[in-house]
Amino acid sequence: MFKLKENKTDFRTEIVAGLTTFLAMVYIIPVNSAIVSNTGMPIEALITATALVTIVASAFNAFFANTPVAMSVGMGLNAYFTFAVCGAQKIPWQSALGAVFISSAIFLILSFTHFRLWIIRNIPKDLRLAICAGIGCFITFLGLSQMGIIVHNKDTLVGVGNFSSSHVLFGMFALALIIFFWAIKLKGAFIFGVLISSVIAWILHIDQAQFPTQLFSLPAFDSKNGLGAIFLHLNIKNTLNISMIPIILTFFITQLFDSIGTITGVGERGKIFDDAKNGEKKLGKTLMADAAGSTFGAFVGTSTVTAFVESTTGVESGGRTGLTALVVALCFILTLFLLPLFKAIPANAIYPVLIMVGVLMFMEVKNINFKDEAIAVASFFTIIMMPLTYSITSGFAFGFLTYLLIRIFKRQWDKINLGIVVLSLISLGNFLLIALQ
């Protein structure tokens, strides 16, 4: 089924690769659940939903595309969903899920066309990297604020938090622990950092943390706090108004760039899409699986689903086929029975992961060509305006508009294409919508 010999791999290698990927990305269960629960959705339901969507999306990609790419709820977009959409704009989570569904459905439909190739050819790679780095800054800002390391200041807008607080000090310790594990290249660094810092919090009762009374339980499917409380609760009707266009656009563009960047990056590590005969077909099917997983996720009750960059750990361990992704899906079935453990993890053992993911995303700046004036200015505005405006949408809107203006000012007509013009007009429309609100 997975054509192991044809892909120059074997059963044992694929199993090891799947287990490696699982350890690298299992942190998404407690982290995503803790973040999105700030919308008012029950954390028990989110733990179950996150595990379920990871299982289904990864397994679907395994059988449909036969690539070693695991999928789950995207970091960055879950923070945008929670804090920028539901929090700052006071949009109910049901309507936000409706926006996720519409953006994912559009992405799924366009996956059957050559649109993704058009995007790759027309949007400068440097701007895609700047968007990734900007999202990294955005979610790092969110993580630091949630941990209490930075706080609101009436005189300077933001300031340093109370470093005498055990809550803040514990968060900094958890962050240092995760950075240490990552620096020594420990596989599963994030989840080990979360679990070890949680044990310390349980022992010392930091933030009133306590050992879980039990480790295992049946999956939470009830309608009170379980999956039934969020399953099929998306509100598409309330999403169909002009004020939701920037939000849908943000989900769509970010998922598009994230998916293309992650999937091609993972493929490059293992030369998965280099085959002249089947390479592009595999890439297309993986993108389709990504979009289908996100559409399914909106029904289940999660923000945008995307390919996980942690899949590179499995590829570097030798994974080359969908069997790797299937092993990941099977491993995540076990997490459905670990609800008490995940619920007991204190928040400041989780938010440091958000910061570290932000660091890893920001590292893409090293590949941006800052010698090009238009790229340099557009990248700067894209990166800096995302955290400063508390909006991913505003960040890439500033970026695309400044890029187009500088190209026009310098009369570099050969550097302007239809894709840039369209996205710049959409960006301008975003600011017009803000002005009319």
CA distance linking residue 386 with residue 400, whole number of Å? 13
Q: How far apart are CA 253 and CA 89, in angstroms?
A: 20
Give per-residue pLDDT as tens, 266-297: 776 667 776 766 767 887 888 889 889 989 99
Predicted TM-score (pTM) of this structure: 0.80
| Average pLDDT of the segment spanning 190-210 | 89
Residue tagged 């169909």 (tokens): 240
Instruction: Please tell me the distance from the alpha carbon of residue 250 to that of residue 78, in angstroms, as a whole number.
Output: 12
Q: Residue 221: what pLDDT?
A: 87
Confidence of residue 384 (pLDDT cuts 50, 70, 90): very high
pLDDT at 374: 93
Q: How confident is the model at residue 49 (pLDDT cuts 50, 70, 90)?
A: very high
Hey, what are 188's tokens?
Answer: 């599963």
Q: What is the pLDDT of residue 433?
A: 67
Asked whether the CA dihedral 109, 113, 119, 120 is positive or negative, the reply is positive
Instruction: Give the residue from 358, 401, 403 showing the smallest Cα distance to 136.
Output: 358
| pLDDT, position 52 | 94
β pairing state of 305-307 and 71-73: antiparallel
CB atoms inside a 10 Å sphere around CB 359: 16
pLDDT in tens, 119-141: 767 778 888 788 878 878 888 88
Contact 48, 297 (CB under 8 A): no
Q: Residue 42 carries which side chain, given as an amino acid letter?
A: P
DSSP readout, 25-92? HTTHHHHHHHHHGGGT--HHHHHHHHHHHHHHHHHHHHHHT--S--EEEPTTHHHIIIIIIIIIS---
Whole-number Å distance between alpha carbons of 104 and 230: 18
User: Is residue 262 scored above 90 in pLDDT?
Assistant: no
Q: How far is CA 280 from the centre of its chain?
A: 24
| Alpha carbon distance 339, 220 (integer Å) | 8
Please say whether the beta carbons of 328 and 21 come within 8 A: yes
In this structure, are residues 103 and 356 in contact, taking their beta carbons and an 8 Å threshold?
A: no
pLDDT at 373: 93
Residue 151: DSSP 8-state: E
| CA-based nearest residue to 100, from 289, 225, 244, 231 | 244
Looking at residue 428, its pLDDT comes to 82
Q: What does the pLDDT average to over 16-29?
A: 86
DSSP codes, 191-218: HHHHHHHHHHHHHHTGGG----S-S---
Q: Mean pLDDT, to the nearest integer, of 52-67?
A: 93
pLDDT for residue 158: 87
- Separation of alpha carbons 146 and 55, rounded Å: 29
Cα distances from 136 to residues 31, 131, 162, 263, in angstroms, run: 16, 9, 24, 18
Average pLDDT score, the chain: 86
Confidence bin at 59 (pLDDT 50/70/90) = very high
Helix, strand, or coil here: 392? Answer: helix
Beta bridge mates, 152? 158
pLDDT at 269: 64
In the block, residue with structure tokens 């992961």: 353
Q: What is the DSSP string of 102-143?
A: HHHHHHHHHTTTTHHHHHHHHS-HHHHHHHHHHHHHHHHHHH
pLDDT value of residue 99: 93
* Cα separation, 104 vs 345, whole angstroms: 31
Distance between CA atoms of 182 and 141, rounded to whole angstroms? 20
| pLDDT, tens digit (0-9, with 9 covering 90-100), for 289-330 | 988 998 999 999 998 898 887 788 788 778 888 899 999 999
Q: Per-residue pLDDT for 182 more than 80? A: yes
Spatial distance between the Cα atoms of 243 and 257, rounded to a whole number of angstroms: 23
pLDDT at 437 over 60: no
**Helix or strand run (H / E) with residue 144:** helix 125-147
Give the residue-averaged pLDDT of 90-100.
93
